[in-house]
Each structure stands twice: as structure tokens, then as C-alpha cells.
Amino acid sequence: MKKKLIVFISVLCLYQMANANTIHSTDSVIVRSGSIQPDADNAGLILPKGFGALIVTSAYGKPRHIAVTPEGYLYVKLAQPFNGNGIYLLKDKNGDGKIDDAIGFGNYGGTGIALKDGYLYASSDENVYRYKLNNQHEVTNPNDPDEIIHGLLNRREHESKSITLDNNGNIYVNIGAYSNACQVQDRVPGSPGMKPCPILDSAGGIWQFKANQMHQTYGDGVRYATGLRNVVGLDWNTQTNSLFVMQHGRDQLHDNWPKLFTVQQSAELPAECMYEIHKGDNAGWPYIYYDQIQHKKILAPEYGGDGKKTAGEDAINPIMAFPGHLAPDGLLFYTGNMFPEKYKHGAFIAFHGSWNRAPLPQEGYYVVFVPFKDGKPTGEWEVFANGFAGKPPITSARNAHRPCGLAQGPDGSLYVTDDNKGAIYRIIYTGK
Amino acid sequence: MIKYLFFVMAIAIVAVAITAFTPAQINDVKASVKRGEKVYTKVCLPCHMADGGGVPNMNPPLIQTSYVLGDKTKLIGIVLHGMNERVPIDGDYYSNNMAPHNDLTDQQIADVLTYVRNSFGNKASAVTPTEVKQARLKKQ
């Protein structure tokens, strides 16, 4: 019996090794990932067949966005400094998939982090900094970064300054509107909308700056797109050579306009929208919102709307519309080779999960996938990774893992941060 | 003799106050909590959640925080005037603005705060309509 068991285990091991080698036979970095095993219960995640997940660490504060170097090192930007450090460089030195080495620097909280052409870019809620990298993609000036952008508005609400870069030396920064719907009195029932909305001159849009110029502020940048209430997830699509963003739609249709919207309608509306952005675009906030059920741009109640009147003829249409309040915080176009073909060039979106659906159960604590071909969606969105908030119904955000940042590893792994309980997940394709 | 009568009456009044008034007060608090729950569900729950836990980094929790359990005048002031300042609440910051709720009556504000101070694991004294009335008169 014992002998049989040993033979069985040996065969199993051989099979595992062979499998790892056939899947990952071309690249030395990729071969290494063959030894990485999912956590026993896939770290609590529910994934499509053939995928597995592990938590690489939960020990470094509240990670917002994340970037991965060609060596597989992680840079994470923390919401607030942890042990005095707002950024961590995390390494898995022994190759078991778990983080076993950490270097902290940057004494500021924030959201944005990106790697581009020999530099690490990171944002606080007001400024954007860059750090020079050595040939191992480690920062050389952790205590003395270049301040490339400063003085961006932070009035508490929608304060994250998410960033992404194109291939022409530009950096794109979200400056969220410090308001829900540009009312005279923010979030006050019945308060009318300001017209024109004064917030839009310095927030509620995406600004473009030069990636290599020091000390820029509003006057040095270009308001690349306006009418975007708040964007946290954004990515440069290298196939279309254009910017894609995920807008957080407005809150409180029922709370502020109870005669016009039911609790149920307010929980579902308005859509969280994916937009493809070109220079000069206007997405319509605060004057309109997108209703994903009527498939129309609707005049906001603060500006005389009733839930039916359409408006915003000059505003762009979304590429895709998602249910209300799910809070898309991460966007990534997948270019890796590890996942099956259908995922190539498609979009992963990390939804943070709702709060403004109460008293109805909360939704959207998951990572979604949208298939793309030639820069256009080819099908409906689907939930890719679920289970971050445990079993439904979800009534509270505070005990959930909340997906926030996304990044792709050199082997094609997908990393997902959770900025509530601090987990960093790595999702791999095992084919089993 | 008259003195003696007064004494007896005084004792009787105190006795009545102790035996009858206190349970009535308890009932008042219970009734206030019950009414307050209704106000909470309609006005507060959308942001502070059914369990009073709030939303991390956005809407503060109402569970065992110094704001909820502490100075009543300050707490009443937040309901009356809203909150749009960057202040730490037990070390954490919350980014959403809170609307003023001065359209609620003194009784409604007293009820909802009595409910909050006696729910979600909180145990603190009731808030009375008189206290709300006084807080309204106070300059912000």
C-alpha cells in the first residue's frame, strides 16, 4: 500500500513537472512561474476553470495601484504610508511566489504608480514624482525623486490622482471632481446644479503633462478630456494608441431626488462607464449621466432632468456601460501569453465594490473581463474573479477584500491589489 | 405638625419620582431609539450602512468612535451642519462630504442620535430635544 502510494505520488510529481515545462517552455522567466502553486482554496477566489490564485503578501498597508518590473518585482503605491513608507518594492527572492523581501520609500500616500522607459512614476493626491531606475529596475533616488507635477486640486472627495503613460513621452493624470453632481450644496437633497459647473476648469477630467519635465502644474498641462466625474482605473491601449478610462458615475439619485427615483432605480443607476478618450473629449458630467438600461444619455436631475429627458448631444458615448456604483478602480489591457487566447488584448477591470446601493445588498467586489479585438469589445463583460467579499449578500464594505489595482507580470500573471485588507493576489493559468 | 407633613410629602414625591419616573425615562429612551431607527434607515443608512460600519476611507463608521460616544453638542452639530472638513476620526480620514440635516426636527435628531449611541455596540446616554434645541442656537 505504502509502495503504491509512493509510486502514485512520484507519477503525480512527474506529471506536474512535465506539465509545467510544456506550458512554459520558451522563456526562462516563465519557466520559473511553473513552480508557483495556487493557494489551497485559490485564496478564497472563484475563477474560471484552469485558473488559480495565491496571495503573495498582505503585510504592507493598503495597496492602491501596482506595477511589475520585467524581473517580476512589484512596486505598490499605498493609500497612506505604512511604517513611514508610501511605496514598497516587493520581491519574491526564493521563487515560491510569496513576497520575502521589501524595501519601503516615499513618505506620502496616494494611488498612482507606473513604470516607463527607465523611470518609476508615483502620485500623491496632489503631486506626481518620478524615480530613476537602475538596470535591475530598482529606484536609485528613493529619497530624492523628481517632482514632475505639483499643486493638483485635492478637496477630499475623489482625491486620487491615477496615472498612465503613452508611448510619446506624455503622462495622463486624473483630477477627480470634488463633488457628487456639482450641486450648489454637495449631496444636499434638492440642491440645484451650478451652471456652468465651476469645478470643470480645474478638476473633473484628465490632464496631460510631459513625462520628463519638472515642476509642471495646471498651466503647463493640457486638459485632455473633461466631463469625467472621477476616474481611478485608466490604461493606455497600445493597439488603438489611445487612452481608456473607467468613470465612477454619480451617487444618490434617490437620496437627493426621492420624487424622481426609487431606491431600486438609484441602486442600479447610473452606469459606471468605460470611455475611449481622444484629446478634447467631453463625457458630460455633471449635466448628464448614462443610463445603461435605456442606453441613453440622460439629463441630470440637478439640471432639470426627470430620469427620462435626454441631453448631452456633444458628449461622447461609453464603449461599455456597467451597473451603477460598482466603483471601477483598476483597468488593464492584457498583453500576456500565459492566459488562453480569448484574453489577449482584452480588458480586465477591478471593481472596488459598491456602497451606494444600500439598503439593497452591495455588489461588484470582483474583477471583470471584457473581450476585445482590434480595440473594440467583441462581447459582453463577464465576472472573471469573484469572492473578494465572501458569500453574498454583501451588506458592508468594511470586512471585504476590495479589488483596486491591476498589473501584468512578465510571465503573464495578473496581479490584483486589495486596498481594504491589504492582500495582493496573483492569478495564474494552470490549465487544470 | 405642618413641618412634619411637608416632610412626609417630600418623601412621598421622591418615592414616586424614584419608582415611577425612572422606568418612564427608560421607556422614553426605548421609544426614542425605536423612532430613531426609522430616521436612521431613511437618512443615515445609505452612507453609514445598516451595521453603522460606514465605508472605508469615504463615510466614517459610527461604531465606538470618539465622535459618536463623545461630546453631544459636537455630535448634534455634525447632524445640523454636515461635515466637509478634512479631520481624522480616530486616526482615519474620510473623503465624502456629509449634507447638513437641519430640516430634521429637534425630536428626530434627538431620536436618531439616541439610536446611534445605543446601537452597533455603542452604549451612551440619550440625546434630548432640548439639547438639540440648544445646539441649534449655538453659533457654528
Q: What is the pLDDT of residues A378-418, one digit of tens each?
A: 999 999 999 999 999 998 889 999 999 999 999 999 999 99
pLDDT tens digits along A147-182: 999 999 999 999 999 999 999 999 999 999 999 999
Q: Are residues A261 and A138 in the same domain?
A: yes
pLDDT tier for residue B1 given thresholds of 50, 70 and 90: low
The total of structural domains in chain A comes to 2
B82 neighbourhood in chain A, CB within 8 Å = 188
- Sheet containing strand A205-210, strands side by side: A163-165, A170-175, A205-210, A222-226, A281-282
> Tens digit of pLDDT for each residue in A283-336?
999 999 999 999 999 999 999 999 999 999 999 999 999 999 999 999 999 999
Task: Give dist(CA A291, CA A271) in Å, integer.
Answer: 6
Q: How far lies B99's CA from each of A35, A419, B40, B65, in Å?
A: 54, 27, 14, 20
A14 and A40 in a single domain? The answer is: no
Query: Is the pLDDT at A84 greater than 90, yes or no?
Result: yes
| % of chain A residues with pLDDT over 90 | 90
Least confident of A46-55, A323-332, A405-414, B25-34: B25-34
Nearest to B57 among A79, A187, A189 (CB): A79
CB proximity A420 to B under 8 Å: yes
Are residues A300 and A400 both part of a single domain? yes
A217 is written with which cell numbers? 502644474
Distances (CA, A) of A284 to A307, A316, A372: 16, 8, 25
Pick the CATH number of B32-137 from 3.90.226.10, 1.10.760.10, 1.20.1260.10, 3.30.70.1400: 1.10.760.10
- A24, A41: one domain: no
Do A110 and A15 share a structural domain?
A: no
Shared domain for A19 and A47, answered yes or no, is: no
ipTM, interface predicted TM-score of the complex:
0.81
Region of A224 on the Ramachandran plot (φ > 0 left; ψ -120 to 50 alpha; else beta): alpha
Where along chain B do its domains lie? 32-137
Position A27 scores a pLDDT of 38
CATH code at A246? Answer: 2.120.10.30
Position B106, amino acid: D
Q: Is A255 an interface residue toward B (CB < 8 Å)?
A: yes
Which residue in A156, A158, A188 is closest to B99 by CB distance? Answer: A188
Same domain, A9 and A60: no
Chain A nearest CA to B111, separation (Å): 20
Q: Give how far B41 is from chain A: nearest CA, Å.
A: 8
Average pLDDT along chain A? 93
Chain A residues in contact with B87 by the CB 8 A cut-off are none
Q: Does A126 touch chain B (CB under 8 A)?
A: no
Query: Whole-angstrom Cα distance, residue A273 to residue A313?
Result: 17
Helix (H/G/I), strand (E/B), else coil: A4: helix
The domain in which residue A127 lies consists of 36-429
Bridge partners for A394 per DSSP: A362
Judgement on whether residues A24 and A135 belong to the same structural domain of the protein = no
- Do A126 and A264 fall within a single domain? yes
| CA separation for the pair A257, B116 (Å, rounded) | 25
Indicate the SS3 state at residue B27: helix
Nearest to B45 among A180, A186, A359 (CB): A359
- Separation in Å, CA of B23 to nearest CA in chain A: 34
The dihedral over CA atoms of A353, A89, A79, A172, expressed in degrees to the nearest 10, equals -80
Q: Examine the domain organization and report whether A364 and A398 are in the same domain.
A: yes
A357 → chain B, closest CA residue: B46
* Grid cell for residue A240: 488603438
* Chain A residue numbers touching B86 (CB-CB < 8 A): 156
A14 and A114 share one domain: no
CA of B87 vs chain A CAs: smallest distance (Å): 10
CB contact under 8 A, A397 and B96: no
Question: In B, what residues contact A, Cβ < 8 A?
Answer: 41, 45-47, 49-51, 53-59, 61, 82, 84, 86, 93, 95-100
**Angle at the Cα of A205 from the Cα atoms of A287 and A264, rounded to 5 degrees:** 45
DSSP state of B42: I
The answer to whether the Cβ–Cβ distance between B53 and A358 falls below 8 Å is no
Least Cα separation, residue A311 to chain B (angstroms): 28
CB A224 within 8 A of CB A172: yes
The alpha carbon of residue B112 and the mean position of all alpha carbons in its chain are separated, in whole angstroms, by: 6
Report how far residue B74's alpha carbon sits from residue A118's, in angstroms, rounded to the nearest whole number. Answer: 52
Return the residue of A nearest to B41 by Cα: A359
Residues of A in contact with B46 (CB under 8 A): 252, 255, 356, 358-359
Grid coordinates standing for A224? Answer: 485632455
Provide the pLDDT confidence category of residue A4 given band limits of 50, 70 and 90. Answer: low
B71-100: average pLDDT: 92
Which chain A residues have a beta carbon less than 8 Å from that of B61? 398
Residue A234 bridge partners (DSSP): A245
A311 in the same domain as A182: yes
A124 φψ region: left (φ > 0), alpha (ψ -120 to 50), beta (else): beta
Segment A37-43 mean pLDDT: 96
List chain B residues with CB under 8 Å of A157: 95-97
Nearest chain B Cα distance for residue A223, angstroms: 24
Per-residue pLDDT, B138? 81
Q: Which residues in B lie closer than 8 A to residue A158 (C-beta atoms)?
A: 95
